[in-house]
């Protein structure tokens, strides 16, 4: 049988593995940071009606500039943003891919701060961009001095700042973001995929865009909007950045159905985001109960919690899976990660973990 090694694949892709998380049918899946709350029924009906109307015109190409959607996204973000400062694609991963296609590439480098979102490195390699990582401060924090020192050392063409960070959940201060934006020669991307789950009053990097034409703020509808299956990501930046992204996008890259579904969700933004407060409450509940069980939950501004103090992450992962609970082993020593789900899902996870923690064959390091 022909193997991948038998094909004339690019040398820099040999030996690599594609991104992926376990996909298993379990009663409680809390491993990929999805919003586990269903879309409200009335919103779902409106989205279906809009998609049905779009189907009648599928013989025609969609709006190449997805102008109506960009306008709706601009209104949602606020901060005085206009349609000329908004871009969207099939999930925030494609948004990031467009950025690396336009500003990365052979002979160029992108910098991230490990541990961080594993797709950054994969997107870099897929676009022929060198992927460089620098370390973080204690407890996965990232202060301005550490971040700027790495920028000055590596002089990257693109800097990727995950705010809050995935997989650790660590919030990122505007002080660090502005320091990096002012120190970097190239493009600085602030990935705010989980921003809606931040504590109320937390300022967005959108407040830093004015006067910084090389700063980009990326968002997604996958998380807070419970729209992971629709694949809609977007960004805000200077209009000239949007012009650059047009050079690399595929023609008509956002289907008419995607545009219609996203417009339906945005038309009900308040109702769609009503579940965020509950998710935030479950996240905080998880952190409190993990600490009570002897684990170490790390600071989180997202819809998930990374926790340390796990003696054998693989064994605990499997023990939870046997009980119908799927969480994530992100490869950090002594750590596991869990998504904040519904109240019932959170209860099931905490009860299962308490049982595992007290089991003689799955010892916990405290």
pLDDT in tens, 35-45: 999 999 999 99
State the CATH number of the domain containing residue 17: 3.90.1150.10
Based on the fold, state whether residues 172 and 308 are members of the same structural domain. no
**Cis upstream peptide for 183 (omega within 30°):** no
pLDDT of residue 149 exceeding 90, the answer is yes
Confidence (pLDDT) at 4: 83
Confidence (pLDDT) at 13: 84
Confidence (pLDDT) at 11: 85
Taking CA atoms, 87 is separated from 108, 184, 243, 296, in Å, by: 23, 22, 10, 39
Based on the fold, state whether residues 82 and 22 are members of the same structural domain. no
Confidence (pLDDT) at 360: 46
Percentage above 70 pLDDT, the chain:
97
pLDDT of residue 361 exceeding 60, the answer is no
Q: How confident is the model at residue 21 (pLDDT cuts 50, 70, 90)?
A: low
pLDDT of residue 293 exceeding 90, the answer is yes
User: How far apart, in whole angstroms, are the C-alpha atoms of residue 337 and residue 296?
Assistant: 11
Report the candidate in 205, 109, 87 with the shortest Cα–Cα distance to residue 159: 109
Q: How confident is the model at residue 282 (pLDDT cuts 50, 70, 90)?
A: very high
Based on the fold, state whether residues 338 and 353 are members of the same structural domain. yes
pLDDT of residue 78 exceeding 60, the answer is yes
CB half-sphere exposure, 111, CA atoms < 13 A: 23
Based on the fold, state whether residues 35 and 171 are members of the same structural domain. no
Work out whether strand 130-134 and strand 109-113 pair parallel, antiparallel, or are unpaired: parallel
pLDDT of residue 313 exceeding 90, the answer is yes
Based on the fold, state whether residues 194 and 138 are members of the same structural domain. yes
pLDDT of residue 260 exceeding 90, the answer is yes
Q: How confident is the model at residue 364 (pLDDT cuts 50, 70, 90)?
A: low
Based on the fold, state whether residues 121 and 253 are members of the same structural domain. yes
| End position of a domain, from candidates 230, 248, 271 | 271
209 is a domain residue: yes
Confidence (pLDDT) at 217: 98
Percentage above 90 pLDDT, the chain:
90
pLDDT of residue 118 exceeding 80, the answer is yes
Based on the fold, state whether residues 150 and 244 are members of the same structural domain. yes
Report the candidate in 63, 53, 78, 66 with the shortest Cα–Cα distance to residue 269: 78
Based on the fold, state whether residues 182 and 316 are members of the same structural domain. no
Report the candidate in 187, 24, 175, 209 with the shortest Cα–Cα distance to residue 103: 187
Based on the fold, state whether residues 211 and 326 are members of the same structural domain. no
149 is a domain residue: yes
| All residues at 6 or more sequence positions from 58 whose CB lies less than 8 Å from its CB, including other chains | 256, 257
- Domain holding 342, by residue range, is 4-39+274-357
364 is a domain residue: no
Based on the fold, state whether residues 203 and 150 are members of the same structural domain. yes
Based on the fold, state whether residues 61 and 21 are members of the same structural domain. no
Q: Region 58-72: what's the mean pLDDT?
A: 98
69 is a domain residue: yes
17 is a domain residue: yes
Based on the fold, state whether residues 228 and 264 are members of the same structural domain. yes
123 is a domain residue: yes
What is the DSSP secondary structure assignment for residue 328, as one 8-state letter?
Answer: B
Question: How is residue 106 written in tokens?
Answer: 């052979």
Give the count of domains, the chain.
2
Confidence (pLDDT) at 3: 81
| End position of a domain, from candidates 214, 247, 271 | 271
* β-pair partners for 160: 189
Q: Region 194-209: what's the mean pLDDT?
A: 97
| All residues at 6 or more sequence positions from 175 whose CB lies less than 8 Å from its CB, including other chains | 144
| End position of a domain, from candidates 226, 252, 271 | 271
| All residues at 6 or more sequence positions from 83 whose CB lies less than 8 Å from its CB, including other chains | 67, 70, 71, 74
Q: Region 187-191: what's the mean pLDDT?
A: 98
State the CATH number of the domain containing residue 163: 3.40.640.10
342 is a domain residue: yes
Indicate the length of the chain as a whole number. Answer: 366
pLDDT of residue 348 exceeding 60, the answer is yes
pLDDT of residue 317 exceeding 50, the answer is yes
280 is a domain residue: yes
């Amino acid at each position: 049988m022909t193997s991948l090694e038998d094909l004339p694949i690019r040398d820099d892709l040999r030996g690599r593995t594609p991104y992926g998380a376990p996909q298993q049918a379990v009663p409680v899946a809390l491993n990929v940071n999805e919003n586990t709350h269903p879309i409200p029924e009335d919103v779902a009906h409106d989205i279906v009606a809009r998609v049905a109307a779009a189907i009648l015109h599928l013989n025609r190409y969609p709006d190449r500039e997805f102008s109506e959607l960009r306008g709706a996204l601009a209104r949602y973000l606020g901060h005085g943003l206009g349609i000329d400062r908004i871009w969207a694609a099939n999930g925030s991963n494609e948004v990031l891919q467009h950025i690396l296609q336009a500003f990365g590439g052979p002979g160029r480098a992108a910098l991230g701060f490990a541990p961080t979102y594993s797709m950054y490195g994969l997107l870099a390699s897929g676009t022929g961009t060198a992927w460089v990582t620098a370390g973080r401060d204690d407890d996965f924090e990232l202060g301005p001095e550490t971040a700027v020192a790495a920028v000055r050392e590596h002089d990257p063409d693109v800097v990727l700042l995950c705010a809050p960070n995935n997989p650790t959940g660590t919030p990122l201060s505007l002080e660090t973001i502005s320091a990096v934006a002012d120190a970097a020669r190239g493009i600085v991307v602030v990935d705010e995929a989980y921003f809606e789950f931040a504590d109320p009053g937390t300022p967005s990097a959108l407040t830093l865009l004015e006067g910084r034409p090389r700063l980009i703020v990326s968002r997604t509808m996958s998380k807070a909007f419970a729209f992971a299956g629709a694949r809609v990501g977007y960004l805000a930046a200077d209009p000239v950045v949007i012009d650059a992204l047009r050079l690399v996008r595929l023609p008509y890259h956002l289907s008419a159905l995607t545009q219609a579904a996203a417009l339906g969700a945005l038309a009900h933004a308040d109702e769609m985001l009503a579940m965020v407060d509950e998710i935030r409450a479950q996240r905080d509940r998880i952190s409190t109960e993990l600490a009570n069980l002897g684990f170490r939950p790390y600071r989180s501004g997202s819809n998930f919690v990374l926790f340390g103090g796990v003696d054998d992450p693989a064994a605990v992962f499997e023990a939870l899976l046997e009980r119908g609970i799927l969480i994530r082993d992100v490869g950090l020593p002594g750590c596991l990660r869990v998504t904040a789900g519904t109240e019932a899902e959170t209860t099931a996870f905490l009860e299962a973990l308490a049982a595992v923690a007290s089991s003689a064959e799955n010892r916990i390091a405290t």
